[in-house]
Every structure is written in structure tokens, then in C-alpha cells.
Amino acid sequence: MAVLKHALGTPSRTTVFRVLSSAGYLTSYSHAGRYYTLRGIPQFDEAGIWAHGEALFSKDGTLRATIVRMVGESPAGNTHDELQAQLHLRVHDTLLDLVRDYRIGRADLDRRYLYVSSDKTAGKEQVAQRRRMLAAEPSPVALPEPNLLIEILLAVIHQSEREPAGIAAALSRQGQKVSREQIEAVFARYGLGKKKGAWKRSQP
């Protein structure tokens, strides 16, 4: 606002908004709406978002309107994390307000909230689609029990063969029953990576 007042040579916010209104403008949905842009400037991405420096703008104008649109258009609804990643902004309080105002719906899905359309029929279909997506995802392999986990880590240190299949074979010869998938889960959990033919801890 200070920059606009200076550019227009006026101390009046009313005058600034009169000029902005005649030209057509958008207010940022970030930074409590402190940034402004002319409507013809933004090049919105597929999600309808445009960033200029730290300022974030939406084709819908406000954060509330943007979330309502995104949730309504999503075939499988949206989780809090998905919306936050798309909007690059904390959205927890806004989501609560929208649910309370019946602008969007919320379903408890496997101890995690899924935000869906306020239209009950559309919302049920979004929940069903999300359940189908979750069912299609491969189940994560559980880590071995602590004693076996230690044996795997020791084998990674001491064995010359440090591929998961080689570790599994070495432990099998010692009478330890462990699958290659379990060893790969250990590698993933503890950041073990392959480098120059050997498995070693990945650098952060």
C-alpha cells in the first residue's frame, strides 16, 4: 500500500483502491492480503496459484475461496498436508472455519481427516475414491523385531556383500529367517544407500 500511495502521489487509501478497482486487481492470499497485483499480470499454474517473490495469489482471490474450489474439484478430496503443499501456507485454521461454515465437508478416514465437497453426494464419492486409492497402494513392509534388526545392521557393517539379497543370504546361513523386503525396509528406515558397489549410510 505504501508503494502504491507513493506511485499515485496520494496519502489516501480510498484513492488507491478506487484506482485499483478501475484497473482490476487481486489481493494476495498470503501475508494477510498486504500485497496487490493487477488481474492481467499473474500467470496461474494448474492449481490456479501464482507467486511473486513471497507473495502468493490465487485466481479465486481469497484463501477460503481457493480451498473451497480445490476441495470441490479434487476427485478424491484433499488432506491437510496436500492442501498445505499446494498453497505453500498453513491452512489448518482456515479449514476448521470452512467446515464450521459448511463450505466444505470433512470425513474421518483411517484416523486422518479428508476434506471433501459440501455436497453430500459428491463428498461420498470423493471418500469412496480415496478409499480405492488407499487400497491400491502397496502395504509397507514392517521392520523386523529389534533383535533381528540389530543382526541386519551388524551384517551391513561386517559383510563384504552389502546388497539386500546378499545380507539375506548371509543371515539365512546363520539360521536367521529374514526376507530381502524386510532388509530393504531397514535400509530405507536408516538411510542406507548404495554407492560404488557397496551399501553405506547416505549423507544428509
CATH of the domain at 92: 1.10.10
> pLDDT at position 162, please?
67
Task: Tell me if 181 is assigned to some domain.
Answer: yes
Residue 179 confidence (pLDDT) above 60? yes
Give per-residue pLDDT as tens, 145-167: 888 888 888 887 876 656 777 88
**Residues 174 and 150 both lie in one domain:** yes
Give per-residue pLDDT as tens, 106-143: 999 878 899 999 999 999 999 999 999 988 877 666 77
| Number of domains into which the chain is organized | 3
**Residues 34 and 87 both lie in one domain:** no
> pLDDT at position 140, please?
67
Residue 32 confidence (pLDDT) above 70? yes
> pLDDT at position 18, please?
93
C-alpha cell at 132: 480405492
**Residues 25 and 72 both lie in one domain:** no
Provide the 3-class DSSP secondary structure of residue 51.
Answer: strand
Of the residues 16, 34, 58, the one at which a domain ends: 58
Taking the C-alpha atoms of residue 54 and residue 35, their distance in angstroms, rounded to an integer, is 10
Of the residues 136, 165, 193, the one at which a domain ends: 136
Task: Tell me if 99 is assigned to some domain.
Answer: yes
> pLDDT at position 139, please?
64
Taking the C-alpha atoms of residue 82 and residue 193, their distance in angstroms, rounded to an integer, is 28
- For residue 129, give the amino acid letter: Q
Q: Average pLDDT in the 161-183 region?
A: 79
Q: Average pLDDT in the 173-184 region?
A: 82
> Please, are residues 133 and 112 in contact by the beta-carbon 8 Å criterion?
no
Residue 5 confidence (pLDDT) above 80? yes
Residue 83 confidence (pLDDT) above 80? yes
b/e map of 165-179 (b: 16 or more CB within 10 Å)?
ebbbebbeeeebebe
**Residues 111 and 173 both lie in one domain:** no
**Residues 68 and 132 both lie in one domain:** yes
**Residues 68 and 105 both lie in one domain:** yes
Residue 14 confidence (pLDDT) above 60? yes
Task: Tell me if 141 is assigned to some domain.
Answer: no
**Residues 102 and 37 both lie in one domain:** no
Question: pTM of the full predicted structure?
Answer: 0.65
C-alpha cell at 106: 470433512
Q: Average pLDDT in the 51-64 region?
A: 96
What is the number of other CB atoms lying within 10 angstroms of the CB of residue 153?
A: 14
Taken in order 116, 122, 123, 124, the sign of the CA dihedral is negative
**Residues 38 and 75 both lie in one domain:** no
Task: Tell me if 84 is assigned to some domain.
Answer: yes
> pLDDT at position 125, please?
97
Residue range of the domain that includes 184: 146-201
**Residues 151 and 170 both lie in one domain:** yes
**Residues 67 and 129 both lie in one domain:** yes
> pLDDT at position 201, please?
43
Of the residues 136, 161, 192, the one at which a domain ends: 136
Averaged pLDDT of the chain = 87
Taking the C-alpha atoms of residue 88 and residue 55, their distance in angstroms, rounded to an integer, is 10
Task: Tell me if 166 is assigned to some domain.
Answer: yes
C-alpha cell at 184: 530393504
**Residues 157 and 103 both lie in one domain:** no
> Please, are residues 73 and 59 in contact by the beta-carbon 8 Å criterion?
no
**Residues 20 and 77 both lie in one domain:** no
